Amino acid sequence: MKQKEDELKKRLMIEDEEFRRLSEEHEEFERRLDQFNSKSFLTPTEEMERKKIQKLKLAGKDRMEMILSSHRKK
């Protein structure tokens, strides 16, 4: 089952522009969150930015899951 899921993701990375963009954004958000998480202290502004990125990352992941789900049914 995991192999089928991985194959679907690879195919969507090639065929679906929105899925590819969301995946790239997800990776960028992950890198930015890692930068924030590596700091021992965040300013209030940094903390707000970190929370904003977390929400954007989650929204993107939810949308990617919707795309995957719609292709699983085909």
Domain count, the chain: 1
Residue 56, pLDDT score: 98
Which pLDDT score, from 0 to 100, does residue 7 have? 94
Give the per-residue pLDDT at 3: 86
Rounded Cα distance between 1 and 32, Å, is 31
pLDDT at position 74: 65
pLDDT in tens, the chain (74 residues): 788 889 999 999 999 999 999 999 999 999 999 999 999 999 999 999 999 999 999 999 999 999 999 998 76
Which own/partner contact pairs does 7-10 have at CB distance under 8 Å and 24+ positions apart?
8/68, 8/71, 8/72, 9/68
How many Å apart are CA 69 and CA 63, to the nearest integer? Answer: 10
Strand, coil or helix: what is 40? coil
Q: Please give the residue range of the domain that contains residue 36.
A: 2-72
* pTM for this model (two decimals): 0.87
